[in-house]
Structure 1
Amino acid sequence: MVSMMQPVFKVFSLYLLLMISACQSKTDEVQQQAAEESPRLVVVVNYPLQFIVESLVGPEFQIMNPVPPNENPETWLPGNTTTQTIQQADLIVTNGADFADWVKKLSLPRSKVLRTSLVIKDALITVPDFEVHSHGAGGAHSHAGTVAFFWLDPRLMARQAEAIAERLIKLDPGSEKTIRVNLEKLNDSLKPLNHQLDQLREDYPGLNWYSRRPVYQYLAKRCDWTMHHLHWKSNEKPNQEDWKQLKTLQKQQKISLMLCESEPTEELVRELAEQGITVFTLDPLTVAPAQGDYVSNMQQQLTHLQMFLKQQQKNPLQKTNDDADSL
């Protein structure tokens, strides 16, 4: 009796295995189809890259800028849950030039990372004294570094956008037509900014500016200006040593203009005016603006900059030779 049951049991076991295999195959197929139909997750490190991706894609993509609105995207670090989400993304669009500390500190899958600075290597600006600090009694010394705010020259932003578009198409070939059409629209939207910058270069060539740190070099190069960064810490009141260095530099340069990333205090504006320096605030837009987008905000800021420089040309803030000698 047992011998008769064995063939039946084997047949039943084989049938059961085939059923399980078929169900598993069907499950895998459903999961794969669901994965293909779900939006591709694209992670970006700052608002300008977010703006580019949002301008290019449709609902086939989900865009994630993990940096909270009240945090600095250059220094912010993600928690464990956010880190896991970033690592599982389909594409991670980074800026390069050491922008965003978390990019350097997290273990990111190389195959998923697009470093946009690589497509503009020929245009990168390196500052020899990017960072100056002291170690003990060894005195102050400097380190070279690459300026990371490429998007302040819309021509460089356009090159970033082209590289991002190609990578998005590779990720989802079915979206190629949409992405290429949107890339053309994005390039068209940048034309007024290029016109404004060309006009600034024509009307106000050769200007010298101060800034707290290396931020505006690509904007300055586009306008034929020169930036002198002061190594002042962001959002901190300049200390006595900072003012001493500025006064020494003013004896040599006598620069009358300064660009600030955020609105300076009235006290700082007054103290700079005492040194013959007038301040203009130009937000580099590393975080999303409260209203509008990159293009509309840059247009507005460049319009205000043109008005500011025109006013300075009419009524420059100047000091007498006696005042300059007293610095």
Structure 2
Amino acid sequence: MQPVLKVFSLFFLLMISACQSKTDEVQQQGTGERPRLVVVVNYPLQFIIESLVGPEFQILNPVPPDENPEIWLPGDATIQTIQQADLIITNGADFADWVKKLSLPRSKVLRTSLAIKDALITVPDFEVHRHGTGGAHSHAGTVAFFWLDPRLMARQADAIAERLINLDPESEKEIRANLEKLKVSLKPLNQQLDQIQEGYPGLHWYCRRPVYQYLAKRCDWTMHQLHWKSNVKPNLEDWEQLKSLQEQQNISLMLCETEPGQELTKRLQEQGISVFTLNPLTMAPTQGDYVSNMQLQLIHLQKFLKQQQKTSSPEK
């Protein structure tokens, strides 16, 4: 019987050893070997991270393609995923309502606006509204669309790269190399903006809400916000406000986030205002990426401004 017992004992020990190895393997897959999960709040941040990292990171932009990332709110399952992420990269300046409403672990959150504190633009009358029968009053706020100035996007990318390296030091060389490539890819946009600034400085524009202030500052322009709600037809009060502003300012240009309808375009033209649509790219484009879409939009903007210059110039 003794040899038989020895065989069974050896078999038992081998089984224990195999089980322990399997447990260790599963634990390894569940920690260091799995991709690091990084959650973002909008497409520009997604574009930056996609430009910086490889398969060792998993990037999650939880906002559905047909939802506005500024006001979208996640469901319970998505909330759980977000809270378990290795890193949550937010925009700051109160962009994305869900960031303000969820309890997020501070150690995992990177607020990219902190990297550009010196460049932030605060609008005194960011939001104007009424309470009950009282008169209108306003609240100051910080404009959140930093990436419309590629120089600020590059500074966001610097901060993100450092945080990603802290998360995965082994990827430092790759991330730093990709960061330089990203900055090179932004150079043509800066060149286009330099040309626009040189050719069309000092312009005054209307916009519905605070979106284009960083772009305007980059181009030496002034933005006048109308406090019109996005994608909502202006009411009688809105048109009266515009009429009053036109009597004071006589501004002939307006930037819109989405293409205005024919009726709105015609009515603005009657007020002497020409509209250019510039998508701020808070959501991923259907084709191309941030750089290619911004390049194309800036080309169209230059053509638009050239045409406006010809129209406004007296014939000799």
**TM over 0.5, shorter chain:** yes
Question: Residue 193 of structure 1 corresponds to which residue in structure 2?
Answer: 189
Once the two structures are superposed, residues 226-259 of structure 1 have per-residue CA deviations (whole angstroms, 9 ceiling, x without a partner) of 0001000000000000000000010000000000
C-alpha contact (below 8 Å) 1:127/1:147 kept by paired residues = yes
Question: Residue 278 of structure 1 corresponds to which residue in structure 2?
Answer: 274
Offset of residue 137 of structure 1: 1.9
- Determine which of 159, 166, 184 is the counterpart of 1:163: 159
Letter in 2 for 1:296: S
C-alpha contact (below 8 Å) 1:276/1:317 kept by paired residues = no
C-alpha contact (below 8 Å) 1:256/1:317 kept by paired residues = no
Question: Residue 323 of structure 1 corresponds to which residue in structure 2?
Answer: none
C-alpha distance in 1, partners of 2:50/2:279? 21
Structure 2: tracts of 5 or more residues without a match: 1-11
Structure 1: tracts of 5 or more residues without a match: 1-15, 319-327
Offset of residue 207 of structure 1: 0.1
Question: Residue 325 of structure 1 corresponds to which residue in structure 2?
Answer: none
Q: How does 1:138-157 map to 2 (within 5 A)?
A: 138-157=134-153
- Determine which of 256, 271, 282 is the counterpart of 1:260: 256
C-alpha contact (below 8 Å) 1:42/1:90 kept by paired residues = yes
Q: For residue 31 of structure 2, give the secondary structure of its aligned residue in structure 1.
A: helix
Higher Rg of the two aligned structures: 1
| Structure 1 residues 203 and 32: CA distance shift in structure 2, 3 A | same
Letter in 1 for 2:128: V
C-alpha distance in 2, partners of 1:287/1:229? 22
C-alpha distance in 2, partners of 1:200/1:211? 19
> Which 4+ residue blocks in structure 1 deviate beyond 6 angstroms?
19-26
Offset of residue 32 of structure 1: 3.4
C-alpha contact (below 8 Å) 1:278/1:317 kept by paired residues = no
Q: For residue 103 of structure 2, give the secondary structure of its aligned residue in structure 1.
A: coil
C-alpha distance in 2, partners of 1:143/1:21? 66
Once the two structures are superposed, residues 70-104 of structure 1 have per-residue CA deviations (whole angstroms, 9 ceiling, x without a partner) of 00000000000000000000000000000000000
Q: How does 1:22-33 map to 2 (within 5 A)?
A: 27=23, 30-33=26-29
**Considering only aligned residues, what root-mean-square deviation do their CA atoms show, in Å?**
1.8
- Determine which of 219, 242, 247 is the counterpart of 1:246: 242
TM-score for the superposition, normalised by structure 2: 0.92
Q: For residue 263 of structure 1, give the secondary structure of its aligned residue in structure 2.
A: coil
- Determine which of 285, 288, 313 is the counterpart of 2:284: 288
Q: For residue 41 of structure 1, give the secondary structure of its aligned residue in structure 2.
A: strand
Q: How does 1:42-81 map to 2 (within 5 A)?
A: 42-81=38-77
TM-score for the superposition, normalised by structure 1: 0.89
Question: Residue 3 of structure 1 corresponds to which residue in structure 2?
Answer: none
C-alpha contact (below 8 Å) 1:43/1:64 kept by paired residues = yes
Offset of residue 136 of structure 1: 1.2
Identity %: 82
- Determine which of 78, 82, 85 is the counterpart of 2:81: 85
C-alpha distance in 2, partners of 1:117/1:111? 16
Q: For residue 293 of structure 2, give the secondary structure of its aligned residue in structure 1.
A: helix
| Structure 1 residues 20 and 134: CA distance shift in structure 2, 3 A | farther
Q: Does 1:223 align with 2:219?
A: yes
C-alpha contact (below 8 Å) 1:277/1:317 kept by paired residues = no
Question: Residue 129 of structure 1 corresponds to which residue in structure 2?
Answer: 125
Q: Does 1:311 align with 2:310?
A: no
Question: Residue 6 of structure 2 corresponds to which residue in structure 1?
Answer: none
Offset of residue 208 of structure 1: 0.1
- Determine which of 198, 203, 208 is the counterpart of 1:202: 198
Question: Residue 9 of structure 2 corresponds to which residue in structure 1?
Answer: none
Letter in 2 for 1:168: L
Offset of residue 317 of structure 1: 9.8
Q: For residue 133 of structure 2, give the secondary structure of its aligned residue in structure 1.
A: helix
Letter in 2 for 1:72: N
C-alpha distance in 1, partners of 2:312/2:291? 30
Q: For residue 89 of structure 1, give the secondary structure of its aligned residue in structure 2.
A: coil
Offset of residue 35 of structure 1: 1.8
